Amino acid sequence: MSDRIISWHGNPSKPLYTPPPGAIDAHCHVFGPMADFPFSAKAKYLPEDAGPDMLFALRDHLGFARNVIVQASCHGTDNSATLEAIAKSNGKARGVAVVDPAISDADLAALHDGGIRGIRFNFLKRLVDDAPKDKFLEVASRLPVGWHVVIYFEADILEELRPFMDAIPVPLVIDHMGRPDVSQGPDGADMKAFRTFLDSRDDIWFKATCPDRLDPNGAPWNAFADAVAPLVADYQDRVLWGTDWPHPNMQDAIPDDGHLVDMIPRIAPTAELQRKLLIDNPMKLYWPEETIA
């Protein structure tokens, strides 16, 4: 692999929309810094450094209070960079790890102590070499209490993954809604299939994220807003939101993070929907001890 890439905006705008106090960016990543946390030998992209100081500066600039840091594929199963970012956050970040499925129970417990509350299974062939379902199921059956599984897949393998996902005994969180083709509209085949999946269990959550990845027409992402707003309204107690900063692999269409935040009122138009999306829902998954039972 050769040049390191930059996939994030150098000077994102200040959003016009102000998130409510306590709002959580529930999907973001850190890259490196490489000198301290080298990238995986199996990484499919080699980014410039985008460490915790940059992430927390962006959090403040955009008007958020907390982050959920999802282990990026370029760091493989070494969660040190994610753990270091959580440790530096003064309790304002928690995370999702990617683990070798053979991880010991003691190492899972250590991840919990470091602020991890879930593990991620990635099924995108352009990001990972293999995704062993049998091994994933085994580790999913012995996670620390309160953890969930985050799954990243593309819409064309939703049906194929159903038996596997149905067998996971903890809550599921689906990254980027399983990448529907939002240009099909709110009643398109991909959205319908995703709704059927959501209706199969009441503990499937999803992230209404990544208009930049999912809207083939680009900014201002009208197709994304049209397709996703009804989903947020209908599943308002199970939806999360995040920037996806530093936008892995988006170097050819880098989104302005301020504009991403300005999508929030377009997919969640009322104060109540916004509170659920940005505070109540992510708090239940990541800071449950602070929520009233």
Ligand X SMILES: O=C(O)c1cc(C(=O)O)oc(=O)c1
Binding of residue 244 to ligand X (CB under 6 A): yes
Give the nearest residue (CB) to ligand X: 73
181 half-sphere exposure, CB direction, 13 A CA radius? 6
Binding mask of the shown chain, residues 62 to 81, with x at each position contacting ligand X by CB under 6 A: ----------xxx-------
Catalytic residue among 181, 215, 244, 257: 244
The yes-or-no answer on residue 166 being catalytic is no
| Burial tier of 70 (Cβ tally within 10 Å: 0-12, 13-18, 19+) | buried
Binding of residue 111 to ligand X (CB under 6 A): no
The residue assigned the tokens 């900063």 is 245
Candidates 116, 127, 150, 229: give the one binding ligand X (CB under 6 A).
127
Give 3-state DSSP helix, strand, coil % of the chain, rounded to 5: 40, 15, 45
- Which among 165, 266, 151 has a CA at the least distance from the CA of 211? 266
Phi first, then psi, for residue 117 (nearest 5°) are -130, 10
Binding mask of the shown chain, residues 199 to 218, with x at each position contacting ligand X by CB under 6 A: --------------x-----
Q: How far is the CB of 98 from ligand X (least distance, A)?
A: 8
Amino acid in position 193: A
Q: How far is the CB of 270 from ligand X (least distance, A)?
A: 27
The residue assigned the tokens 């239940």 is 284
Binding of residue 249 to ligand X (CB under 6 A): yes
Q: How far is the CB of 77 from ligand X (least distance, A)?
A: 12
Q: How far is the CB of 119 from ligand X (least distance, A)?
A: 13
Distance CA 240, CA 173 (A): 9
Catalytic site positions: 244
Q: Point out which residues bind ligand X (CB under 6 A).
A: 72-74, 127, 175, 213, 244, 248-249
